[in-house]
A and B are shown apart, each in its own frame.
Chain A
Amino acid sequence: MNARIIKTALERTGFAAAVVAIFTFSVFPLYWALITSWQKGSEVYTVRYLPSAISWANYRAVFIEQSFGHNLVNSALVAAGTVGVSLALSVFAAYGLGRVRFRGRMLLLFTILGASMFPQIAVLSGLFELIGWMGLYNRLPGLVLAYLIFTLPFSVWVLTIFMQRLPREIEEAALVDGASPRVVVLRILVPLVRPAMVTTGLLAFIAAWNEFLFALTLTLTDRARTVPVAISLITGASQYELPWGRVMAASVIVTVPLVLLVLVFQRRIVSGLILGGVKG
């Protein structure tokens, strides 16, 4: 037993402890929500660290006694609509910003980037009024329109960076052959930036699925409510007596698709976050 071996052993143990700590820190609240959601009725009022019997009563209650299924469909429609519109618009904008040099290009690019950073609250009163005028209050298209404020600038930014990286000759050959710019974008550039489109699409989906402030303000009834708003509004018999089992069941249901997305697309999501945050 020399000092060196002891030192290495200590280091290894310390490292393993750090890994376990990070893992526990990340997963514990979700684990806690899960075991709470499996407890029936008043069982939630005894603190248990391991699941005893697994009951799905809370999950059934969320769908039967509340219109949670409807809220889920709303969330999915709004998120999918937001992704579709953002990608369709931003892929063309990114061509303009990323493949063509013109005066004011950088100013425009950074204005768009700046637009994604501004506080949602700053546009809330004007947006509320606008959505009302357009007759979109308490309707899903209103939310899609509102969400473009943050998904569109982000998508444009990331796709522009990707387009910039492609060699210039790619489109030139096609242009010489007489292809229109729209054809160049759709047939040549889109397939090449598809990985970036998947990444931005995923991030836009997550952002729209999770959004709360606009959804809370621009909807009024369950007809148009998305899941985050529905979860925030679950109340019990009194303000002090929330049906925690049910709240946790609903929380687990919305979280599962996201956790799956994250586990499957981890690399793409991370690269997108980094491009959005730092220039890659």
Chain B
Amino acid sequence: MWGIDPLMDSNSKPNVRRAVRVTAGAGLERWRVRTAWVFLAPTLAVLALVAGWPLLRTAMLAFTDAYLSRMAEARWVGLENFRWLLTDGDWWRSVQNTIVFTVASVSVQFVLGLGAALVLNVRFAGRGLLRAVVLIPWAIPTVVSARMWRWMYHDVYGVFNDLGLRSGLLAQPVAWLADDTTAMAAIVVADIWKATPFMALLLLAGLQAIPPGLYEAARVDGVGRLNAFVYITLPLLKPAILVALIFRTLDALRVFDLIYVMTSNAVSTASMSVYARQQLIDFQEMGYGSAVSLMIFFVIAVFVAAYVTAMRASLVEEG
């Protein structure tokens, strides 16, 4: 089998040729580099096709007045779309919504996730099961969790209203998702439920990398548990915390599914992505919608750069 591989050199005596190359040293290296590029080519081609090209097209369309049903007649309009965007109240509302959503959900996820990670880091019967169970909210499709939460938030038959009324916390049922004052909070709670497991698991991995000997030594020296947490755990966990926070922030900034399924295109809760899709597909404004998408791209690019830098640092550190 080895000798008849189609990718091998067409030379009828491959063994000999290869052996010559191996002894050639530098030649082998050059040959390996060429192989690396040959193997990378399909992946790079696919990524260029499905990511690079569409991104480029989005950037081009952003400067035109393209309309979905008559794309061929698109005209170059310069910065017109961006000028319009800057004065569009609904866009700024979506920016504000996205920031509120991101800050609120990521900060609560961090606190709860750290708590859950500390619990999961303790050895106890059933820890493996709990660790698997914690993954359930993460694995459920976002569309499904959005539907489940919408049902729990139902203004008449929802479990939250039922519990609230029974316990006397609510005087009357609340239309959680229809009421502008509660809708965003309700969405944030659903996101906290969905994404806290991810935060917890990243932090748990960080916790498990801390050598247990450090805690032993601290205990011998009479350091209390709270102090050990503040002076040992937190500083050593910092890289994991950083990466988890940036990762979750990135995810929260591009939120679409959860908000779209829970409150559709409602202005009071629409995120940047929801707003962009509405322009692109529902209103068929390919030009303007692309301008919106490009803006989102740049906002998120800043965070991606921060993330990649953090990853590079950790990669260099470990060698």
- What residues of chain A have their CB less than 8 Å away from a CB belonging to chain B? 15, 18-19, 22-23, 25-27, 29-30, 32-33, 36, 44-47, 89-90, 92-93, 95-97, 99-100, 102, 106, 108, 110, 112-115, 117-130, 145-146, 148-149, 152-153, 156, 175-183, 185, 206, 209-210, 212-213, 217, 227-229, 231-232, 244, 247-248, 251, 254-255, 258-259, 261-263, 266, 269-270, 273-274, 277-279
Say whether B135 contacts A102, CB under 8 Å.
no
Q: Is B202 an interface residue (CB 8 A)?
A: yes
| In the bound complex, CA of A36 to CA of B154 (Å) | 13
Residues of B within 8 A of A96 (CB): 35-40
Q: Is B114 an interface residue (CB 8 A)?
A: no
**Known: A102-B33, A182-B5. Is A213-B151 also a contact (CB below 8 A)?**
no
Closest to B287 in A: A125
| In the bound complex, CA of A146 to CA of B53 (Å) | 12
Residues of A within 8 A of B57 (CB): 125-126, 129-130
Q: From the candidates B37, B51, B152, B254, name the one contacting A32 in the complex (CB within 8 A).
A: B152
Please encode chain B, from 120 to 132, with 1 for each CB lying within 8 Å of some chain A CB and 0 for all others: 0010101010111
* Known contacts A217-B277, A266-B132; 10 further A-B pairs (Cβ under 8 A): A25-B193, A121-B256, A121-B276, A126-B54, A228-B144, A244-B151, A251-B144, A255-B144, A273-B202, A278-B239
Q: Is B188 an interface residue (CB 8 A)?
A: no
| Chain B, 134-191, CB within 8 A of any chain A CB | 134-137, 139-145, 147-149, 151-152, 154, 156-157, 159, 162
Q: Is B269 an interface residue (CB 8 A)?
A: no
Name the 5 nearest CB pairs between A and B, nearest first.
Answer: A126-B54, A126-B57, A96-B36, A178-B15, A93-B43
A-B contact pairs, 19 of them (CB 8 A): A15-B124, A89-B42, A100-B35, A102-B36, A121-B256, A125-B57, A125-B61, A149-B51, A177-B15, A206-B139, A217-B277, A228-B143, A231-B147, A244-B157, A259-B136, A266-B131, A266-B132, A270-B131, A273-B201
Q: Is B18 an interface residue (CB 8 A)?
A: yes
Question: Taking the nearest CB of chain A, how far is it from the CB of B72, in angstroms?
Answer: 12
Q: Is B253 an interface residue (CB 8 A)?
A: yes
- What residues of chain B have their CB less than 8 Å away from a CB belonging to chain A? 2-3, 5, 7-9, 14-15, 18-19, 22, 28, 32-33, 35-40, 42-44, 46-47, 49-51, 53-58, 61, 71, 115-116, 119, 122, 124, 126, 128, 130-137, 139-145, 147-149, 151-152, 154, 156-157, 159, 162, 193, 197-198, 201-202, 205-206, 239-240, 243-244, 247, 250, 253-254, 256-257, 260-261, 272-273, 276-277, 280-281, 286, 289-290, 293-294, 296-297, 300-301, 303-304, 307-308, 311-312, 314-315, 318
Q: In the complex, how many residue pairs between chain A and chain B have their CB atoms under 8 Å apart?
A: 311
Residues of A within 8 A of B7 (CB): 180-183
Secondary structure at chain B's binding surface: helix, strand, loop or mixed? Answer: helix
